[in-house]
Structure 1
């Protein structure tokens, strides 16, 4: 998490409007750290998307305890937006945000979408192998075998992905988060009220 990213985020949050934090080089941990800092200044994590890096959405938290926390944080760290000291990030809050961000990224596509993307990618790979090696019998057999082996791994990867998402969901549920399905059919976890 760079100080420049934090300062820009904090300056954007002054308006009280939703804030988009984009970073092409950030890791999930760095995004979770930014979200944890934002929570201390009266915002809450809303969503994250992949694109050219990650694009995280933050919204103003209207709960009274969030407003009180933000007022205390601003009083203790008045020059945080100008490069001053930042409040420490609570390890538990950081881990929960990291879990939410990871789960949101893992549920970005449905199983059918992942199946289509993987199938298309594997087919393109097999065709590329044939094109690179020439369209003789040996390259067709090699490409066919590679294609068949990789296609057979797709269901295994989907099962592993479901188990991983269930493990993350269980961690959030144990922390008091509520599972909901958004209007796009995507499973999301909302923080306790």
Structure 2
């Protein structure tokens, strides 16, 4: 990541087998070297796409110069700046909200219903014998999984509320991007990147 950041261009990392905490730590380290978190999206096959952009603010520039001097071998696997748990928690909250709002509730519901229907019918055809048996198995699978999905939706809403409260308490400001998606910007209202990346 630090080697990619060396040319001062926006960076997109496609990562698999990682945790939200790990992603937040990456974004925090990027901040220590003049970049800032822009967005996190879920790609196909469990890939998380983390977007980082240069931070043009004078404080970010000064911090980056200081850390490049103090940690000259960071990009080669050398020592890194110490982690700040509170800052990482805020980054994690922003990332979770961005992931959960990547799609609208309606779009997510439509995708889940379609996936459940196909998966349930596939199981019914695999284990059932005759149309009635196939439909019975498929129906039981669909209803059982739909109940689990409903619980997951409730947990997701609670997670959104918790993350929103954490960010508001830290002085983050709610904005709406050009896709109509709610986002949060750091105290002071500064948006990530050069200018307003949420402009149409």
Distance in 2 (alpha carbons) for counterparts of 1:59 and 1:27: 21
Most deviating of 88-97 and 21-30: 21-30
Specify the alignment match of 2:168 in structure 1.
Answer: 173
- Per the normalisation by structure 1, the TM-score is 0.87
> What are the ranges of 5 or more consecutive residues in structure 2 without an aligned counterpart?
189-200
Specify the alignment match of 1:128 in structure 2.
Answer: 122
Paired residues, number: 185
Aligned match of 1:26 in 11, 18, 21? 18
Specify the alignment match of 2:30 in structure 1.
Answer: 38
SS for the counterpart of 1:20 is: strand
Most deviating of 115-124 and 125-134: 125-134
User: Given the superposition, is the C-alpha separation of residues 152 and 89 from structure 1 closer, same or farther in structure 2, using an over 3 Å criterion?
Assistant: closer
Report deviation, 1:67: 1.2
Aligned match of 1:182 in 166, 177, 181? 177
Distance in 2 (alpha carbons) for counterparts of 1:142 and 1:36: 48
Specify the alignment match of 1:100 in structure 2.
Answer: 94
Alpha carbons 1:177, 1:192 under 8 Å: kept: yes
Specify the alignment match of 1:6 in structure 2.
Answer: none
Alpha carbons 2:124, 2:136 under 8 Å: kept: no
Distance in 2 (alpha carbons) for counterparts of 1:153 and 1:33: 31
